[in-house]
Amino acid sequence: MAVRDYLRTHPDEVNCFGALKESLAKQFPRDIEAYMDGKDAFVNELESKALNWYNKRGTLN
């Protein structure tokens, strides 16, 4: 839920993720493993950012 909420409030991240996925789909149209591997670093960083953001929000309430 943290990632979902983070993306809802950070449209720039949504755009970056969308561009990455589009680029990977063109680069690896028949290789789902390579496509998924290409997203790993972005998704891991996104999850970390989202959890930090989510936890900070909880302390502000």
- The domain segmentation of the chain, as residue ranges, is 2-60
- Answer whether 25's CB lies under 8 Å from 43's CB: no
For position 61, what pLDDT does the model report?
52
CA–chain centroid gap for 26, Å, is 18
CA 51/CA 38 separation, integer angstroms: 21
- Which residue reads 């983070």 in tokens? 6
Q: What is the pTM of this model?
A: 0.82
Give the pLDDT confidence of 7-60 residue by residue, as tens digits. 999 999 999 999 999 999 999 999 999 999 999 999 999 999 999 999 998 765
SS3 28: coil
